[in-house]
Structure 1
Amino acid sequence: MPDRRHQPLLPEAAGIEHRDIEILGVPLELGAASRGTLMGPDALRTAGIARALAGLGHHVTDHGNLHDAPLADVAMDPEAAAMCRFLPEIAGWVRTIHARSCEMAARGGVPVFLGGDHSISMGTVSGVARHCAAAGRELAVLWVDAHPDYNVPSTSPSGNMHGMALAFLAGEPVLASILDRPVQAVARENLHVFGARSIDPGERARLRAHGIDVVDMRQIDERGVAALMAERIARWQQKAVWLHVSFDVDFLDPEAAPGTGTVVPGGATYREAHLVMEMLSDAGLVCSLDLVELNPFLDTRGRTALAATELVASLFGRRVLDRQPGATAAA
């Protein structure tokens, strides 16, 4: 598919740092239980994601969608491999995505990956991590998701590989052979799960044992999004990290985002999600993004695709009112 460039500069772009944004669709659905996420990238395009970003003054290049990847041989323990659904297919995708992700990150723009289920992040984040290691940069990952996705084959109740993505990125040895090269693991202290409300028992034990930073919805209810995000942003700013945001639409409550196969009641409100994105935008740390688990087959009149597009626009600078970073609205 040829590149499509969008650049209609709109008045709302005033005061925004304009960036080069590269979009790549990854229509993978085999990592999830429900079919339909392969339609996610095109649903986001229909919702106007490139148009919204270009309207903010960013230079947007859409590279279209990756095509089917070849099956891959995976040198995994046979017992573990038997617990991973569609392992050869997903490994082939991960290896293809990894190469494209590293290439996009090296060009110096902002890679934006449109999924597809969350197993795509095994390739997107590992590619960014490889680039960061080569450039001498430290990578932190903000996993905005109802699920931590920190299972391994022996703890996964389903065998669905979107639930193992963060464990792979942390360098879990049993999953390492999914990639055909050594995995550039993200340091555990740089993995941050935000918005969790569905954690499997074995996964919970692994998160605790590995000291992964997990903000669940009770913490958000008790302390609020602003305080919790501010603490983490201060940490990232002090370390001057490259921040990758991996945003699963099931972070939102199903009332706001019904179009996903992994709905869990009690999620973030539409406004809470926008506040997360606006605070990240103000911090100026986000260097790459995944947008995953949109299933248009389960959506209601494009509601989830439109909400996700608006959230990404907030991440890249859209505001209701102009204000200095850190300033609050007048009472």
Structure 2
Amino acid sequence: MIKNISVIGVPMDLGQTRRGVDMGPSAIRYAGIVERIERLGIAVQDEGNIQIGLGERYHTDPETNLKNLKAVAKGNESLAAKVDEVIENGRFPLVLGGDHSIAIGTLAGVAKHYQNLGVIWYDAHGDLNTADTSPSGNIHGMPLAASLGLGHEVLTSIGGYSPKIKPENIVIIGARSLDEGERELIKEKGIKVYTMHEIDRLGMTKVMEETIEYLKSKTDGIHLSLDLDGLDPHDAPGVGTPVIGGISYRESHLAMEMLAEAEVITSAEFVEVNPILDEKNKTATVAVALIGSLLGDKLL
């Protein structure tokens, strides 16, 4: 049972090129995240935002094919230190993005506290690219690879150690847009993936039952990394890389409710809310509702 939560905002928009996602933490706060958690009887402490530098907008390093490498790495180092501190103080870290490149820092801060950290990657994308396989050079498509120790050393070494996680301890849920290099890596490493095909065929209940069973027996903690583009754009329009045919709002609530019942999640982040692309803060409101379900909120 989660009793103490620290909310950490990360206004990072340097891992991709669509502006506005740096306002995601503010949008989620405006949608009432702190109040929602407090209503559940959980003590919540808002830690404020990690300071993020400006970077060189749209600049791609010709040697690395990576955009804003130094600024992204610096922000993630700060995040890793903060997450580490929060866990040391016996609190559950709830990280609000920002683009998905922040998962590099979150996992660097979390994984040092576990021998076998499990990761549920709830996302339309695999985020398993490296500089060699990325079509864009956007680091928000690389955090899972970097956490596996794959990619540029500046990213893989954040937190002072590598790798943070093992491929057999990952489950990707909701994938429907994978680059060729990511497909090859998934097959090579044997990473468990539930694409939209499996979700449609098995149903979300079965997918979550299998995910929990797969991870629970061999991990000593499970991190949830939820990208709002994992949901269908109809339900979560305010994201930078929407992909139609995604997980529904109701299916996502069910997934969060099942994770709450299983009491397996030890840290979480919700990322890629972009209020500039949103409709009346709809996507941030969805994020708050899903966080509520993850933390045990029930209708009755």
TM-score range normalised by the length of the shorter chain: over 0.9
- Once residues 3 and 289 of structure 2 are traced to their aligned partners in structure 1, the CA distance between those partners, rounded to angstroms, is 18
Work out whether residues 5 and 43 of structure 2, in 8 Å CA contact, stay in contact via their aligned partners in 1: yes
Q: Which of 148, 157, 160 in structure 1 is aligned with 2:126?
A: 148
Taking structure 2 as the reference length, what is the TM-score of the superposition? 0.94
Work out whether residues 80 and 154 of structure 1, in 8 Å CA contact, stay in contact via their aligned partners in 2: no
2:264 counterpart residue number? 285
- Once residues 19 and 89 of structure 2 are traced to their aligned partners in structure 1, the CA distance between those partners, rounded to angstroms, is 33
| 1:199 counterpart = 2:181 | no
Work out whether residues 149 and 165 of structure 1, in 8 Å CA contact, stay in contact via their aligned partners in 2: yes
Residues 254-265 of structure 1 mapped to structure 2, 5 A cutoff: 254-265=233-244
Q: Between Structure 1 and Structure 2, whose CA radius of gyration is higher?
A: 1
- Residue 180 of structure 1: CA displacement? 6.1
| 1:108 counterpart = 2:90 | yes
Q: Which of 92, 99, 122 in structure 1 is aligned with 2:104?
A: 122
Unaligned runs of at least 5 residues, structure 1: 1-16, 72-77, 322-331
Aligned pair in 2 of structure 1 residues 253, 70: CA closer, same or farther (>3 Å)? closer
> Which aligned segments of 4 or more residues in structure 1 are displaced greater than 3 angstroms?
78-81, 173-178
| 1:157 counterpart = 2:135 | yes
Residues 150-189 of structure 1 mapped to structure 2, 5 A cutoff: 150-172=128-150, 174-175=152-153, 176=155, 179=158, 181-189=160-168
The AA in structure 2 aligned to 1:140 is G
Q: Percent identity?
A: 41
- Residue 107 of structure 1: CA displacement? 1.6
Unaligned runs of at least 5 residues, structure 2: none
1:234 counterpart residue number? 213
Task: Give the number of aligned pairs.
Answer: 295
- Once residues 63 and 91 of structure 2 are traced to their aligned partners in structure 1, the CA distance between those partners, rounded to angstroms, is 36
- Once residues 126 and 191 of structure 1 are traced to their aligned partners in structure 2, the CA distance between those partners, rounded to angstroms, is 15
Work out whether residues 194 and 215 of structure 1, in 8 Å CA contact, stay in contact via their aligned partners in 2: yes
2:66 counterpart residue number? 84
- Once residues 18 and 165 of structure 1 are traced to their aligned partners in structure 2, the CA distance between those partners, rounded to angstroms, is 26
Taking structure 1 as the reference length, what is the TM-score of the superposition? 0.85
The answer to which of 172-181 and 27-36 deviates more is: 172-181
Q: Deviations over 1:151-183 (max 9, x none)?
A: 011110000000010000111154455526222
1:5 counterpart residue number? none
